[in-house]
Amino acid sequence: MGFNNNPRSISGLAKHMRRAGGFLLCGLFIAGCADKPTYQVDYDQTFPFSGYQTYRWYDDDHNTTESQYRRYNSSDKRVRNTANQELIQRGFREGPRDQADFWVNYHVTRRQTQKVTGQEQGMHGGVAAGTYGRSVSVGYSSGPSVKTYEDGTAVFDVIDIRTGKIVWRGIAEGRLKNNMSKADREQLTITVVHELLEQFPPN
Q: Tell me: the pLDDT tens digits for 142-154? A: 556 766 666 778 8
Stretch 190-196: mean pLDDT: 91
- Where is pLDDT greater, at 183 or 40? 40
Q: How far apart are CA 200 and CA 90, in angstroms?
A: 8
The alpha carbon of 38 is separated from its chain's Cα centroid by a whole number of angstroms, namely 9
CB 172 within 8 A of CB 192: yes
- Where is pLDDT greater, at 128 or 155? 155
- What's the whole-model pTM score? 0.66
- Where is pLDDT greater, at 75 or 25? 75
Phi and psi (nearest 5°) for 17? -65, -35
The whole-number pLDDT of residue 107 equals 85
Strand pairing class (122-130; 145-160): unpaired
Q: What angle do CA 114, 118, 120 make, to 5 degrees?
A: 100
Question: What is the percentage of the chain residues whose pLDDT exceeds 90?
Answer: 38
Domains of the chain (ranges, CATH numbers): 7-112+157-197 (3.30.160)
> 11: number of CA atoms within 13 Å, CB side?
6
Stretch 14-30: mean pLDDT: 37
Q: Residue by residue, what is the 3-state secondary structure of the chain?
A: CCCCCCHHHHHHHHHHHHHHCCCCCCCHHHHCECCCCEEEEEECCCCCHHHCCEEEEHHHHCCCHHHHHHHHCHHHHHHHHHHHHHHHHCCCEECCCCCCCEEEEEEEEEEEEEEEECCCCEEEEEEEEECCEEEEEEEEECCCEEEEEEEEEEEEEEEECCCCEEEEEEEEEEEECCCCCHHHHHHHHHHHHHHHHCCCCCC
